[in-house]
Structure 1
């Protein structure tokens, strides 16, 4: 049967989140997670729907794409479809042809899970290897040590504090209270938590969002930041440990995160909190004339 590419629309986003959750398992590659959709939801449901693509056969969704910006498509595949040739060829055709409305002209990027056949097809079709990324994972089968700091779960009344820490953690961030409320209203936020670490003066100095994918499945950290005025005190390690404990409490099997390999500080912070580096993966890019 033919592979069909579609746009789920706002009403279909719940199904997309559900299948992405079902595709997460500890033996599989780190790929687009329900939490990635949840974090994107800060822009609102309509924009999230516009950024989402699905590839289906006979009504069964086999691949999902999330346009994380105008020039980056992040892909996830059903575990049994990673090497499905018909699916891989259709996805490769759709992402390589600007008229299909997935990626436009110019320099564009694809992030696909390790081992996906679509990577091989794109490389053969002229795409090139790009930036290396480092996935990290920590098993949650054993107790996670107490982070040793004051950790607080953030609700709507404290959204401004979480937003302020995030803005102070990433250069150029435009995150606002309104975006927190939009994110928290999204389908993927069910079971998710936003946490802050407070210093001895009660100031929020680090922030994280944690996203479960269901009991017995990997949970995601996205994003995690430490206020630039409070770095060097171990708050990144502490908030990461707090995130792992929060995911463990809701039954996640492990905690995963992925960061550019060039961000050596972030990689070191995650490792200091007990996450283990997995083999690097590279995105693919095409620089059209």
Structure 2
């Protein structure tokens, strides 16, 4: 049996989204989520397909990677393949050699599940740890408290409001109306929602996109932002509560989010919205 590395066609993205959803579990490691692929879809289906790498053994998909950037690969691995040594060795070989078409030459980063065998092999190869990230999770077994702001579910006719809040929340954001429509046309968005929070005057003050992996699975917040003109008023906590409630309505078992540990304000916001801090994770950095 041979493990094969491939890049999917656009038509193959749907089944891969389904695989990623199947692999999500509250008891398993935090790893690449269908929503991560869904958020990337704002660049279009073809570019999304070109960013994906798939490892399979005789047609059985064992691992899915997404090049979030040319120098950053984010990996998800089937739960029963996390310790698969043959798979780990093949991924390791594909990551070490730029000619294999996974990562570019030079300094690059890999995010893999905490329990993955490939992580151990990369450390043995001399890969280093990068800056820490903090994952957070909120259980959704019980109803979520009221967000205490007006919340709109964004449809195509209000995409401009959603994208404007995004650009006002993140310096350098390139989220346009066209990219919102591309994202919304993607397979993962069928189980997603964009929310905009408004203050008492009706100003759009915060926004979030939530992604379901299906009933009984963890959902994802990606991204969440507060308009720079309205920070310091609790709107981050409010829209995060609205996001958790939306995921619960979609059948999610929990809500996940991940942020750089250095962003202490974001960590505090999610904690204020009832999210529990999980053990820090670190990408691995290639030393050459």
The question of a shared fold, defined as TM-score above 0.5 by the shorter chain, is answered with yes
- Once the two structures are superposed, the pairs formed by residues 50-89 of structure 1 within 5 Å of their partners are 50-89=50-89
Matching residue of 2:244: 244
Query: Greater shift after overlay, 40-49 or 121-130?
Result: 121-130
1:98 match: 98
Secondary structure of 1:190's partner? helix
Partner of 1:177: 177
The separation in 2 between residues aligned to 1:167 and 1:93, in whole angstroms, is 39
Q: Residues 141-160 of structure 1: matches in 2 within 5 Å? A: 141-160=141-160
2:208 and 2:182 map into 1 onto residues whose CA distance is 16
Could you list the runs of 4 or more consecutive aligned residues of structure 1 that deviate by over 2 angstroms after TM superposition?
none
**Distance in 1 of aligned mates of 2:70 and 2:168:** 24
- Equivalent residue, structure 1, for 2:14: 14
Please report how far the alpha carbon of residue 250 of structure 1 lies from its aligned counterpart in structure 2 after TM superposition. Answer: 1.1
Q: In the TM superposition, what is the alpha-carbon distance from 1:171 to its structure 2 partner?
A: 1.2
Aligned to 2:191: 191
Q: Which runs of 5+ in 2 are unaligned?
A: none
Q: Distance in 2 between matches of 1:15 and 1:95?
A: 24
Cα distance in 1 for residues equivalent to 2:53 and 2:46? 13
Aligned position for 1:204: 204
**Counterpart in 2 of 1:284?**
284
Residue number in structure 1 paired with 2:165: 165
CA distance in 2, matches of 1:279, 1:191: 28
In structure 2, the partner of 1:257 is 257
> Aligned residue for 1:271?
271
- Contact 2:126-2:287 at 8 Å conserved across structures: no
Deviation at 1:75, TM superposition (A): 0.2
The TM-score, its normalising length taken from structure 1, stands at: 0.99
- The runs of 5 or more residues in structure 1 that have no matched partner are none
Which shifted more, 279-288 or 42-51?
279-288
1:197-222 Cα shifts (integer Å, max 9, x gaps): 00111111100000000000000000
The 2-side partners of 1:172 and 1:45 are apart by 23
Tell whether the 8 Å contact from 2:74 to 2:111 is kept in structure 1 after alignment: yes
Q: Distance in 2 between matches of 1:287 and 1:197?
A: 43
Match of 1:221 in 2: 221
Distance in 2 separating the partners of 1:231 and 1:26: 32
Alignment RMSD, CA only? 0.6
1:162-215 per-residue CA deviation (whole Å, 9 max, x = no partner) reads: 000000101111110000000000000012000000011111110000000000
Which whole-Å deviations, capped at 9, do the CAs of 1:40-68 have from their partners, x for residues lacking one?
Answer: 00000000000000000110101000000
- Cα shift at 1:287: 3.8
Tell me, in whole angstroms, the C-alpha distance in 2 between the residues paired with 1:281 and 1:67: 18
Any idea what SS the aligned residue of 2:32 has? Answer: coil
2: CA distance, partners of 1:90 / 1:131: 26
Q: Secondary structure at the match of 1:241?
A: helix
- 1:155 and 1:75 mapped to 2: Cα distance? 31
Equivalent residue pairs, number: 288
Paired residue for 1:135? 135
Q: Give the C-alpha shift of residue 153 in structure 1.
A: 0.2
Partner secondary structure for residue 68 of structure 1? strand
